[in-house]
Amino acid sequence: MSTTSSTLWVAYGAEGNVVGTIRREEDGYIATIAGADASLGTYPTMEIAKSALHGHLPPGSDWPRFQEH
């Protein structure tokens, strides 16, 4: 029996509010906007997932601060 672990990064906006998350899973990095019912998708690298998350924030949003949890 094997276990699958994941890592979670929380994305914080300029005001310190949570704007999204990125979770590392076996098949890639899953980006989700805070409060969304579904993820944005699964991406092959952390950098691509970060860019996807930032691209779905309101226009003019600063680059989020990502903190591992």
pLDDT of residue 6: 75
pLDDT of residue 1: 55
Tell me if 34 is assigned to some domain: yes
pLDDT of residue 3: 54
Mean pLDDT per 10-residue interval, the chain, length 69 residues? 74 96 97 97 98 96 96
Tell me if 1 is assigned to some domain: no
Tell me if 2 is assigned to some domain: no
pTM of the entire predicted model: 0.88
Is residue 67 a contact partner of residue 9, using CB atoms and an 8 Å limit? Answer: yes
- How many separate domains does the chain show? 1
Structural domain boundaries enclosing 11: 7-68
Is residue 65 a contact partner of residue 17, using CB atoms and an 8 Å limit? Answer: no
pLDDT of residue 51: 98
The DSSP bridge pattern shows strands 65-68 and 41-43 to be: unpaired
Q: What are the φ/ψ torsions at residue 59 (nearest 5 degrees)?
A: -55, 140
pLDDT of residue 4: 53
